[in-house]
Structure 1
Amino acid sequence: MSPLARRLQHAAYGGPEVLELAEVPLPEPGPGQVRVRIHAAGANPLDSKKRRGLFAPGQEAPAEPQTLGLEMAGVIDALGPGVTQWKTGQPVLGLTAQPDAVATHALADADNIVAKPDVLTFEQAAALPIATETAYRTLRRLGVVAGQTLLVHAAAGGVGLMAVQLARVLGATVIGTAGEANHAFLRDLGATPVTYGDGLAERIRAAAPQGIDAVLDASGRGVLPLSVELTGNPDKVLTIADLDAARHGVRFSREMLPVPQVMDDVLPMIEDGRLHMPLEAVFPLEKAADAYHRLDEGHLRGKIVLTTRTPLDPAARALLDMATQPGAPQPHELSAPEARAALDGMWAQLGGEPAAVARTEDAVANGVPVKLYWPEGEGPHPVLIWIHGGGWVLGSAAASDATARDLSRLAGYLVVSVDYRLAPEHPFPAAVEDVMAVAKWVSGEIGALGGDITRTAVGGDSAGGNLSAVLANELPGTFTLQALVYPATDLTHPFPSYEENGEGLMLTKDALAWFQGHYLGEDVDPKDPRVSPLHADAATLAAAPPALVITAGYDPLRDEGEAYAQRLREAGVAVEQVRYEGQIHGFFSMPAAIPEAREAIDRVASALRRARA
């Protein structure tokens, strides 16, 4: 199945109720373009005007579904031919090539985006391009300079409040029309507020006895005659919202400046705090109709933004806050023995209360320590070789005891949990050799222990998922299922999620470098298929068993796990791939802290039950 994007569109004209989410093929960037995995997009009045059919009078519906939005912030995930100034994984903000920014993915011209400043969230960044460009452009075209007085209609909206701030930076006095509820807000921005309604001209003259030098109309609510009267010259009035501008001799400004030209001047002012864009509200993409209802109501204080990204699970957030508090040990800041001492016990606790199984036994499989878990009931039982995570440096069968027990009990498998040798004491290929030795032991000995060798699966999480995929590729025809939980599949990490999720989470870029440095050393090729199974050839993958691939939305390994699932599909392998959007790397083994882990464990158990049938 080809990858899909989701986008907001409407196939009829009308209110927000005509909006719908549609799945469409993932767009491919052309020459000079990039594809952006969009995290947030701004909602603008122009979207609503188009949706209501104001630019298509007399038509009930467009000839084809219409998309919405131009401004966005996200992460580049593909480059078109000739694009050299950007790389995948870079966070950016800017405009899409077509009005289709309210989507999970869209194309942008490489020269009409800029790097997202670290001080801005994706939601804050997505609110900037149109309002900032419009305010910047219109003030330039009005010729506003220090000492003048500017009148801004709809001063508390997105364009209005940026115009107020930019004019104040220029040294102008600003009068802003707004509802009473936004007056204090405008005063905080440095403007003198006046209320809409009867007597507006008199209130403006009272607020600006020196007179009005220029007017920016961002409201489109019939204020152009009054504005011309106040300035005495229609050339001193400019609108971005009133389609009757020409009738009043007023300019309607719509020709946009390139985003980089504007942001070169404006972003420094945002980074040092002289400008800011308040957010009226942030809505998930699934609540787009609610977002546009709020937009259409007007009287906003800032921008409305739609986010395409599922928020971080609150339980995962709480765990991260605990794990990253000052003084909490970070693995890459410790020696390997220190990290094991600090973290293995914590991981065992996060696994939760150990589930009851029929019995357990420690054993040695071709020289490798293993722990066996028998389910209830008569054998012979299907067999699961379970391989723990921990970056090939941390973890143990003891630390993953709760996971092994859960899978044995829920799936009805005899679980063989592997205590493979760890780096840096035993770098690559020691772990691969150990899991291979265990698989060969299982094939020869497990029958005598109540296992059914004809129904053997392999699985693991993180580094264990990596070793499981390698084992499945090295021993074709051996396994009925490979269950890969956020696996590391390409240790060159060329995918956007490596940058996107590389800081401030459970697994970081620094931690990955620490793990891989211990595991690979300096002389191992990270593209060796026994290191990075994504680099296995097509014939090898075609012989692989069916796969369940679980990924987490807030994981630097997310994209490479999903890329591996896609390569398996392309090779003809049956694949179930599930992303837990709000989760972090490691969640699967932490059900005591993250309840959603239980659902993921149940999903693996369900796949195992199907595989044994």
Structure 2
Amino acid sequence: MTKAVRYDEFGGIDVLRVDEVERPVPGDGQVLVRVKAAGINPSEAVIRTGALTDMFPSTFPSGQGSDLAGVIEEVGAGVDGFLPGDEVIGFSNKRASQAELALVEAGDLTRKPEKVPWEIAGGLYVVGVTAWGAVRSVSPQEGETVVISGAAGGVGSLAVQLARRTGATVIGLASESNHGWLRSHGVIPIAYGDGVADRIRATAPQGVDAFVDLYGGGYVELALALGVARERIDTIADFAAAAKYGVKTDGGTEAGPGAKILAELAALIADGHLEVPIAHVYPLAQVREAYTELERRHTHGKIVLRP
């Protein structure tokens, strides 16, 4: 037997529990990973409430989680390139990563560089691929100015760094407690809230070329008011506004194969060119506490579970 996060019905944080379950057995093309770290994400909290059943139907009891990093325990038939004992980063499309053991398709794994800590590796997939896709969708160029809302969150803290790597000037909207971190990464911080449009115009009198919305709540309309072209606005949080105004909603596998992007991001981290802030690491048994912190929506960086 092994432990895994489960829930039997849609609902709030209180439906989550850690169960004893049967040890998974890898099938063709699959790998069994002993999870060392698994990230948690806002999308998982929304799926758990039942708000996205059309997009993400659930079968109960349901597991939870996509992000993971760990050590391979077994490989199934037809798996080439991985052996037991290999340290890997990957993701599960079966909502199964928040567990001691997880089955993963071999094509959804990449090797973990030695210099990348477990908690960073285990929380990398969703935020990393989302940030990569969102920044890529608006194509910031050297000499341009891009605004990113939610700039200090799990996705935002990576998106601002990836945008800076293009040579663009990056304005990050975040609470003042996170402004020091943003400045230390070459980002111009601006507080959100009343008057934000005027603060952006004063900071970027030449205008704004692109806008990445990672928070929702009116930022698509703000980007349009700032004169940003629709094709250079991307939101991963306000799909109603995206449909209304015809802006982009990229932020994921639109950027390319997930394992390939993971490998590139992990290499940047290992070489010291990309930082993944870790807000808090919880033991698996404290999954409810972890999601309580996540759902406050004021976290700087990534929250991770350690089985």
When normalised by structure 2's length, the TM-score is 0.93
Note the C-alpha offset of 1:229: 2.0
| Aligned position for 1:224 | 220
Aligned counterparts of 2:160 and 2:7: Cα–Cα separation in 1? 34
Cross-structure match for 1:34: 31
**How far is the alpha carbon of 1:303 from its aligned partner?**
0.2
**Cross-structure match for 1:157:** 153
1:12: Cα distance to partner?
A: 2.4
Deviations 1:359-396 (A, max 9, x none): xxxxxxxxxxxxxxxxxxxxxxxxxxxxxxxxxxxxxx
Counterpart mapping for 1:248-263 below 5 A: 248-256=245-253, 257-263=256-262
Report the counterpart of residue 148 of structure 1 in structure 2: 144
| Contact map agreement 2:137 2:248 (CA 8 A) in 1 | no
- Counterpart of 1:307? 306
What's the CA shift for 1:228? 2.0
Matched ranges for 1:446-457 at <5 A: none
Could you give the per-residue CA deviations for residues 333-357 of structure 1, whole angstroms, max 9, x where no partner exists?
A: xxxxxxxxxxxxxxxxxxxxxxxxx
Which sections of structure 2, spanning at least 5 residues, go unmatched? none
Conserved? CA contact 1:214–1:231, under 8 Å: no
Measure the CA separation in 2 of the matches of 1:231 and 1:40: 42
Q: How far 1:62 sits from its partner (Å)?
A: 5.8
Q: Is the 8 A contact 2:132 2:251 kept in 1?
A: no
Describe how 1:427-506 pairs up with structure 2 within 5 A: none
1:10 and 2:7 correspond: yes
**Does the aligned pair in 1 maintain the 2:236–2:249 contact within 8 Å?**
yes
Residue 147 of structure 2 aligns with an amino acid whose one-letter code is: L
- Determine if contact 1:33/1:80 at 8 Å carries over to the other structure: yes
Is residue 19 of structure 2 the alignment partner of residue 22 of structure 1? yes
One-letter code of the match for 1:285? L
Q: Does the CA-based 8 Å contact 1:246-1:252 persist in structure 2?
A: no
Aligned-residue offset at 1:165: 0.7
Higher relative contact order (CA 8 A, sep 6+): 2
Residue equivalent to 2:295: 296
Q: Where does residue 129 of structure 1 map in the other structure? A: 125
Report SS of the residue matched to 1:297: coil
What is the TM-score when the length of structure 1 is the normalising length?
Answer: 0.48
Distance 1:48 1:79 in 2: 31
2:204 to 202, 208, 216: 208
- Offset of 1:177 from its aligned partner? 0.6
Given the superposition, is the C-alpha separation of residues 280 and 255 from structure 1 closer, same or farther in structure 2, using an over 3 Å criterion?
Answer: closer
Matched residues in 1 for 2:126 and 2:205: separation?
Answer: 32
Kept in 1: contact 2:134–2:251 (CA 8 A): no
3-state DSSP class of the match of 1:224? helix
Which residue matches 1:194? 190
Q: Per-residue deviation at 1:158? A: 1.2
1:243 maps to what in 2?
239
Q: What displacement does 1:15 show?
A: 2.1
2:39 maps to a residue whose letter is G
Deviations 1:121-157, CA, capped at 9 Å, x for gaps: 2111112122111111222221122221111110001
- Partner amino acid for 1:294? E
Amino-acid identity (%): 39
Taking the aligned partners of 2:105 and 2:48, their CA distance within structure 1 comes to 25
Deviation at 1:13, TM superposition (A): 2.4
In structure 2, relative to structure 1, the CA distance for the partners of 1:55 and 1:263 (3 Å cut) is closer
Report matched runs for 1:47-86 at 5 Å. 47-56=44-53, 64-86=60-82
Q: How far apart are the structure 2 equivalents of 1:168 and 1:158?
A: 16
Aligned equivalent of 2:134: 138
What one-letter code is carried by the residue in structure 1 that aligns with 2:246? G
Size of the aligned set, in residue pairs, is 302
Displacement of 1:236 in angstroms is 1.0
> Structure 1 206/140 Cα, relative in aligned 2: closer, same or farther at 3 Å?
same
Alignment check: 8 A CA contact 2:150 2:172 kept: yes
Matched residue SS, 2:243 = helix
The question of whether the paired residues in 2 share the 8 Å contact of 1:40 and 1:122 is answered with yes
**Structure 1 position 100, deviation (Å):** 1.3
- Partners of 2:115 and 2:59 lie apart in 1 by 42
Deviations along 1:430-486, one digit per CA (max 9) or x if unpaired, are xxxxxxxxxxxxxxxxxxxxxxxxxxxxxxxxxxxxxxxxxxxxxxxxxxxxxxxxx
Paired with 1:5 and 1:225, the residues of 2 have a C-alpha distance of: 48
Q: Is 1:173 the equivalent of 2:169?
A: yes
Tell me the distance in 2 between the aligned counterparts of 1:49 and 1:55.
7
- Residue 27 of structure 1 aligns to a residue whose secondary structure is coil
Tell me how far 1:193 sits from its aligned partner: 0.9
Amino acid at match of 1:178: A
- CA distance in 1 between counterparts of 2:231 and 2:62 reads 35
Determine which of 90, 94, 99 is the counterpart of 2:90. 94
CA RMSD of aligned residues (A): 1.7
* Separation in 2, partners of 1:233, 1:75: 45
